[in-house]
Structure 1
Amino acid sequence: MTQTELASIAGVSRQSISFYESGERVPEPATMNAIADALEQPMAFFVKEEPPTFGMHSTNFFRKVGADTKRRNMACEVMARWLSQTAYAFDSIANYPAVDLPAFEPSNRGSPGYDEDEIEEIAEQVRQLFGLGLGPISNVVRLLESKGVLVCRVEMPGEKVEAFSFWSGARPFIFLASDKDSGARARFDAAHELGHLVLHRWVDAVEIEDKDRLKEIEREADYFAGAFLLPRKSFPNEVFTPRLTAFVDLKTRWKVSIAAMIYRCKSLGVFDEQQVTNLYKQISAKKWRRQEPLDGPSGLPIEQPILLRRVVELVIESGRMEKDEIRAALSFNPPMIEQLTGLPSGFLMPESAEIDFVPSLKSIE
Structure 2
Amino acid sequence: MIPTVAEAIRVSRGLTQMSLASRAGVSQTAISLLETGHARTPAPIAAALSRTLDTSEALLTTPAPEVELLHAMKDAVRAGVRRRVAAEFILAFVRIQALAPGTRHTARHSGRDEGSPAVCAEGLRSAWQIPPGPVQNIVSTLESHGVVHLRRDLGGTRVNALVGVVGSHRAIMFVDPRAHYDDAAWNIAHELGHLALHASALPAQEGAAEDFAGEFLAPATEIRQLLSSGMDVDDLPAHFRVPPAKFARHARRRGVITVADHRRLRTHSRPPHEHHELPAHAMLAGIVDERTRAGETIEQVAASAFLTVNDLREDFI
Q: Distance in 1 between matches of 2:175 and 2:54?
A: 21
Match of residue 139 from structure 1: 137
Root mean square deviation of aligned Cα: 3.5
1:102 paired with 2:109, answer: yes
Match of 1:325 among 293, 300, 307: 300
Match of residue 184 from structure 1: 182
1:165 paired with 2:138, answer: no
Residue 176 of structure 1 aligns to a residue in which SS?
A: strand
Residue 220 of structure 2 aligns to a residue in which SS?
A: coil
Give CA-to-partner distance per residue, 1:87-126, whole Å, 9 cap, x none: 322446xx7577464144545xxxxxx7xxx222222211
Q: Distance in 1 between matches of 2:118 and 2:45?
A: 60
Give CA-to-partner distance per residue, 1:323-343, whole Å, 9 cap, x none: 33334433356655445522x
Match of residue 17 from structure 1: 28
1:311 paired with 2:287, answer: yes
Match of residue 60 from structure 1: 69
Which amino acid in the other structure matches residue 20 of structure 2? L
Shift of 1:128: 1.4
Partners of 2:288 and 2:301 within 8 A in 1: no
Residue 76 of structure 1 aligns to a residue in which SS?
A: helix
Partners of 1:86 and 1:337 within 8 A in 2: no
Give CA-to-partner distance per residue, 1:219-248, whole Å, 9 cap, x none: 111110101110111123435546xxx33x
Residues 1:86 and 1:311: Cα distance change in structure 2 (over 3 Å) = same
Shift of 1:143: 1.2
Residues 1:173 and 1:237: Cα distance change in structure 2 (over 3 Å) = same
Match of 2:55 among 11, 33, 41: 41
Match of residue 207 from structure 2: 219
More helix by share: 2
Q: Distance in 2 between matches of 1:40 and 1:220?
A: 42
Shift of 1:11: 6.7
Match of 1:3 among 10, 17, 38: 17
Give CA-to-partner distance per residue, 1:182-220, whole Å, 9 cap, x none: 01111112211211111126x4xxxx3xxxxx1221111
Instruction: Please list every run of 5 or more consecutive structure 2 residues that lacks an aligned counterpart in the other structure.
Output: 1-14
Residue 261 of structure 1 aligns to a residue in which SS?
A: helix
Match of residue 246 from structure 2: 260
Residues 1:229 and 1:26: Cα distance change in structure 2 (over 3 Å) = closer
Q: Distance in 2 between matches of 1:148 and 1:299?
A: 24
Residues 1:82 and 1:337: Cα distance change in structure 2 (over 3 Å) = farther
Which amino acid in the other structure matches residue 71 of structure 1? G
Shift of 1:160: 3.7
1:294 paired with 2:272, answer: yes
Match of residue 234 from structure 1: 222
Shift of 1:141: 1.4
Give CA-to-partner distance per residue, 1:234-291, whole Å, 9 cap, x none: 123435546xxx33xx3443221222222223222344445433443x44xxxx4xxx
Partners of 2:237 and 2:243 within 8 A in 1: yes
Match of 2:83 among 46, 69, 74: 74
Residues 1:28 and 1:142: Cα distance change in structure 2 (over 3 Å) = closer
1:84 paired with 2:82, answer: no
Larger Rg: 1
Partners of 2:237 and 2:244 within 8 A in 1: yes
Shift of 1:307: 0.6
Give the number of the structure with larger relative contact order, counting CA–CA contacts within 8 Å between residues 6 or more apart: 1
Q: Distance in 1 between matches of 2:307 and 2:32?
A: 17
Match of 1:120 among 118, 121, 127: 118
TM-score (norm 2): 0.76
Partners of 1:186 and 1:303 within 8 A in 2: no
Residues 1:260 and 1:32: Cα distance change in structure 2 (over 3 Å) = same
Which amino acid in the other structure matches residue 123 of structure 1? A
Partners of 1:104 and 1:199 within 8 A in 2: no
Partners of 2:69 and 2:162 within 8 A in 1: yes
Residues 1:323 and 1:263: Cα distance change in structure 2 (over 3 Å) = same
Q: Distance in 2 between matches of 1:97 and 1:25?
A: 33
Partners of 1:166 and 1:174 within 8 A in 2: yes
1:196 paired with 2:198, answer: no
Residues 1:143 and 1:154: Cα distance change in structure 2 (over 3 Å) = same
1:276 paired with 2:259, answer: no
Residue 277 of structure 2 aligns to a residue in which SS?
A: coil
Q: Distance in 2 between matches of 1:104 and 1:197?
A: 13
